[in-house]
Each structure stands twice: as structure tokens, then as C-alpha cells.
Amino acid sequence: MDLPSTRYATTADGVHIAYQVAGEGPFDLVYVPGWISNVDLGWDLPHHGPFLRRLASIARLIVFDRRGSGVSDRPPKEESLALEYGIDDIRAVMEAAGSDRAVIFGFEDGGILSAVFAASYPERVQALVLFASWARYHWAPDYPWGYNEGEITEFGWHIEREWGTEAFWRYNLQAVAPSMVENDAFVREWTRYSRLCASPSAIVAIERALREVDARAVLPTVQVPTLVLHREDDRSEPVDQSRWIAGQIPGANLLVLPGEEHPPFIGDSERVIAELERFVAAIREEESAFDRALVTVLFTDIVGSTERAVSLGDRGWHELVDRHNATVRAMLARYRGREVDTAGDGFFATFDGPARAIRCASAIAEAVRTLGIEIRAGLHTGEVEWRGDDVRGIAVHIGARVGALAGPSEVLVSQTVKDLVAGSGLVFEDAGGHELKGVPDRWRLYRVVG
Amino acid sequence: MDVPETRYAKTADGVHVAYQAVGAGPVDLVFVMGWTTNIEAMWEEPNLARFSGAWPRSPV
């Protein structure tokens, strides 16, 4: 894969955020990194680079450096490193990348940022995936997983004295990725990467901003489908935090993965990809079902239209069609039908009630006779898929085929429609079994007689 | 030649300045580069790397 080109999005407060778009998968995926990143170098980093490539193989991946890190701006005021400003980094990047809606995958404090973003802009978030996240930095009686003062001081000491050296990562990796502590090449690469993510003062400012984070109140307001992932033996951030977070977000799914590595890209990263893919597939399946509905479809068209057009001439025929259309539309309005399409002299409409649809068809057939023309009409009820104002589905084909079989001033319906309107007072006559072109099975049709 | 190790010096006004020292020649040579630089990445740029690496002992 070629390395994607780096571009800049600008936030509302004027901070330039570096981002990249990679891959062409069926959904947009925004990867929100932890405290530091560098989009230009992340692709070459062992474990991290291959993980990004895998994400780009299943989705249209959007990566960025959060304000203060990597090749994004250091905001002029340190206060604007605060978490609430960070959500605008995601918004600006999605807008610049042309993404209206995406799955947001957030790692560690990137997860908190993602959750706050999802709570603020639910319409932009298809699903939220949190990996090894936490909700509050400091220990509190009701948040026992936070760091106590001693731990914060110790971590601060390592950052101030050792940032940019291998010593820092040999210390930090003991908790974050124990399997990597003795891996000299990894430590060397990671040390260099971290220098290119943040300078010594920049990392102090980033860590200071993290200390203020307490996003607990936001979690119950997250309304998007959420998957919470955490490795069971993570020594850096205890898994119980994710258990708690999953309990706070309504309907969130928790999945505890085996292993001790804190980052998703170290250890069994394939499992992470698989769970992400599975979750997103289920969400997309569920969403496509939202757009399915049971409707009654009505197809009408003018009988002998070609002959009438020839005998009336273009102008006379167009006038007649206009009057016919006006009549059909008046009846659709009266019987609460929804016009989907008009092709030449035919109409395709949907109804949410089959009896009303039949009465509308009969009323149209009756009304257009005063214009000296006759229509044929066919109805069927079935599940269809709405795509904006368009309707698709096998039920549409069946309705069209039933309509084509009707004679002049005849309203034909499928067995399904007849069964649904039992007790409505409508009277039917058997119109025999028929093959419907392109549709399996034989279909028994009924003629409306009163 | 291996890429030299990056260290930080601190100025009187508290700014961290990244530097590297490379070579073992008889004189110290400080290379003050132009308006934009990145001492980590410059070793990957062939012309700049050849130029910098050819010097006696050059903190950059």
C-alpha cells in the first residue's frame, strides 16, 4: 500500500490537524490515537504500521494527530489541549475528509475523546469502539482505578527526565507491553517515534491536560452502538475500568480479550480487527433493517395508451395524460398514498394500509373513465427497502407484474393483500393462478368486485 | 553510518533544543541549518545525510 498523503484540517479555534485517508472499505473508520501519534511515521512503526494497514483493508480509514502531537499544531494556549477542544479535532477531520458518519475507534484516552465526541455528535457516529480506555485520570473513592498522587509524581518524573530516551520506554513498556521490553529494535524505533510525536515540553503539556480528565458524567449520555474492548491482564490500565465504562454506556457490549498488552496493535491484533469487523457488520445489518417496512404497492397504467396517443396526436394525448395524472394524484392524496414514481402514463405508489390501497385503485379506475380512458391496477403487500424516496424489493416487482396482468378497469390483488383485508367488506373473485415473470412460484390472484 | 542519538539541551528561557553529535574529528563543528529542519528525518534525505556525515565531529 502506498503511504497516504498528509493533509490539514482546521478546527474552529484555528488549530491545524494533520490527517490521512487510506483504504476504500464499505464504512468510514476514524482511528483516534492515545496521547501521542505521528501520522507520517506511524505507518513505518513495527506492529503499529501493520495494524493501520489492516484497518485500511476493511474500511476507509481516517487517521489524524490530535492537537499538540505529531505533525499537528501545538495550540498557542496550553488550556486548549483540554479534552473538550479535542472533539473539534475529530469533527474538523471528518468534515475535511468528506465523512458524514463513521465508526470511531478510540485507544486509551483517545477512547474518552471518542466517547465525548459520540455523545456530542451522535448523528456523525455509526458506532463507537473503545479500546483499553479509562474515564478519569485521578484516583477517587468512587473511581478506584485512577492514579494516586505517588503514581502521578513518578510518571511525571520519568517524563521530565527521560522523554526521548530508551530508558523512558523500558520503564513504560513494563506495564504497557511487557513482551516488548527486551525487544531492542522495538524500543529503539518506539523511542524515535515518540520524539517525533512530541518534544519534551509538548509531552509535559499533554500529560498535564490528561490529569484534568474526568469524563464519567458523559458516558450515560452516549446513545450510539458501543463496543468496549480491553485485554484481561493489562497492567497499565486495569480491565475493571472497561467493565465499569461498559456499565455506564447504555446498551454497550463489553468484550474482555485474552492477553496483557495495552495497545490494540501489539499482541493478538487480528482478534481486535475480527471483533471490530463483526460488530460493525452487525450494526450495518441492523441499520439496513431500519429502512425496511411492510407496504402495499400499487401499480396503474392506461390501457391501450399507444392507440389513444396515435388517434389524439401529441398535443391531445399530453393534455389527456395531464388530466389523468391530476386525477390519480387527487385520489392518492385522498387515500393517503405516497407517489413513488411516474413513468409515461403509469403510476407507482405505496400505502401503509392495504384496504385503503384497494379503495384508492377502485376510485382511480372509476374516476378516469369520465376522461374516456381505462386503467389497469395491481396490488401486492410485502417488505420493501426505502432508499431515500426510492423503494426497492421483490414486493415491488410482484406488484408491477400483478398490475400488468389486469384487464381494463380491473383491480387485481395478490393472495397476500386479500388475506390482509379480510373483514374489511371488500369483495373478491378468484382470478386464477399465474406465473409472474422473474418471480418464483405460482401466484393466485384476485379481482376486486366490490 | 548509524543515525546518531538525539538528546535535548535546555536554553536559559526553558526551551528544549534537540541535538545530535556525530564523528570524532579534531575540531568541533556546529552546523546551523536553515529555516526548517528535523534532525531525525534528515538522515533519510540522501544529500543532506552525505553532507552531514562527511564532517569531522559535527553536532547538528
Chain A residue numbers with beta carbons less than 8 Å from the beta carbon of B37 are: none
**Segment A230-253 mean pLDDT:** 96
Q: Closest by alpha carbon to A118, among A101, A131, A97, A135?
A: A101
> Is residue A135 very low, low, confident or very high in pLDDT (cuts 50, 70, 90)?
very high
Q: Which residue has the higher pLDDT, A292 or A134?
A: A134
Sign of the C-alpha dihedral computed for residues A226, A231, A237 and A241 taken in this order: positive
Does residue A198 register a pLDDT over 80? yes
Q: Closest by alpha carbon to A138, among A67, A207, A233, A225?
A: A207
Q: What is the pLDDT of residues A59-74, one digit of tens each?
A: 999 999 999 999 999 9
Query: How is residue B14 annotated by DSSP?
Result: S
Q: What is the pLDDT of residue B57?
A: 57
> Is residue B59 very low, low, confident or very high in pLDDT (cuts 50, 70, 90)?
low
Is A164 in contact with B8 (Cβ distance < 8 A)? yes
Query: How is residue A239 annotated by DSSP?
Result: T
Interchain contact B18–A (C-beta under 8 A): yes
Looking at A198-268, list the stretches that DSSP marks H as alpha helix, in order from N- to C-terminal side.
200-211, 240-248
Contact A18, A91 (CB under 8 A): no
Phi/psi at A378 (5° precision):
-135, 145
Shortest CA distance from B18: residue in chain A: A199
> Is residue B56 very low, low, confident or very high in pLDDT (cuts 50, 70, 90)?
low
Q: What are the grid coordinates assigned to A80, written together?
A: 486548549
> Is residue A152 very low, low, confident or very high in pLDDT (cuts 50, 70, 90)?
very high
> Is residue B1 very low, low, confident or very high in pLDDT (cuts 50, 70, 90)?
low
- Best of B5, B10, B39 to disrupt the A interface (most A CBs within 10 Å) is B5
Interchain contact B6–A (C-beta under 8 A): yes
- DSSP assignments along A294-309, one per residue: EEEEEEEEETTHHHHH
Q: Are strands A125-131 and A102-107 parallel, antiparallel or unpaired?
A: parallel
Q: Which residue has the higher pLDDT, A314 or B46?
A: A314
Q: Which residue has the higher pLDDT, A305 or A70?
A: A70
End-to-end CA distance of chain B: 15
**Segment A399-409 mean pLDDT:** 96
**Segment A264-274 mean pLDDT:** 97
Is B8 in contact with A196 (Cβ distance < 8 A)? no
Q: What is the ipTM of this complex?
A: 0.72
Percent of the residues in chain A that have a pLDDT greater than 90, as a whole number: 87
Tell me what the pLDDT averaged over chain A comes to: 94
> Is residue B58 very low, low, confident or very high in pLDDT (cuts 50, 70, 90)?
low
Q: Closest by alpha carbon to A39, among A56, A66, A8, A63?
A: A63
Whole-number Cα distances in Å, A34 to A1, A67, A130, A133, A262: 24, 12, 11, 9, 11
Q: What is the pLDDT of residue A287?
A: 84
Among the partner-chain residues B7, B16, B40, the one whose CB lies closest to the CB of A196 is B40
Looking at A291-434, list the stretches that DSSP marks H as alpha helix, in order from N- to C-terminal side.
305-334, 354-369, 394-405, 415-420
**Segment A255-272 mean pLDDT:** 97
> Is residue A403 very low, low, confident or very high in pLDDT (cuts 50, 70, 90)?
very high
- Chain A interface residues (partner B, CB cutoff 8 A): 163-164, 192, 195-196, 199-201
List the beta bridge partners of residue A435.
Answer: A442
Q: What are the grid coordinates assigned to A125, written together?
A: 457516529
- Best of A159, A161, A165 to disrupt the B interface (most B CBs within 10 Å) is A165
- Best of B8, B37, B43 to disrupt the A interface (most A CBs within 10 Å) is B8
Q: Which pTM was predicted?
A: 0.75
**Segment A358-363 mean pLDDT:** 97
Q: What is the pLDDT of residue A185?
A: 94
Shortest CA distance from B15: residue in chain A: A201
Chain B residue numbers with beta carbons less than 8 Å from the beta carbon of A192 are: 6, 40
Size of interface A-B (CB pairs under 8 A): 21
Percent of the residues in chain A that have a pLDDT greater than 70, as a whole number: 100
Shortest CA distance from B10: residue in chain A: A200
Q: What is the pLDDT of residue A2?
A: 77
Q: What is the pLDDT of residue B47?
A: 81
How far apart are the CA of B16 and the nearest CA of chain A, in angstroms? 7
Interchain contact B27–A (C-beta under 8 A): no
Q: What are the grid coordinates assigned to B25, written together?
A: 574529528
Interchain contact B54–A (C-beta under 8 A): no
Q: What are the grid coordinates assigned to A209, written together?
A: 491536560
How far apart are the CA of B14 and the nearest CA of chain A, in angstroms? 9
Interchain contact B36–A (C-beta under 8 A): no
Q: What is the pLDDT of residue A193?
A: 95
Is A201 in contact with B8 (Cβ distance < 8 A)? no
How far apart are the CA of A202 and the nearest CA of chain B, in angstroms? 10
Q: How far apart are CA A327 and CA A333, in angstroms?
A: 10
Contact A376, A400 (CB under 8 A): no
Phi/psi at A440 (5° precision):
-65, 165
Q: What is the pLDDT of residues A155-183, one digit of tens each?
A: 999 999 999 999 999 999 999 999 999 99
> Is residue A308 very low, low, confident or very high in pLDDT (cuts 50, 70, 90)?
confident
Does residue A22 register a pLDDT over 90? yes
Is B7 in contact with A201 (Cβ distance < 8 A)? no
Interchain contact B45–A (C-beta under 8 A): no
Does residue B55 register a pLDDT over 80? no
Looking at A212-296, list the stretches that DSSP marks H as alpha helix, in order from N- to C-terminal side.
240-248, 269-290
Mean pLDDT lowest among A44-53, A76-85, A142-151, A328-337: A76-85
Interchain contact B17–A (C-beta under 8 A): no
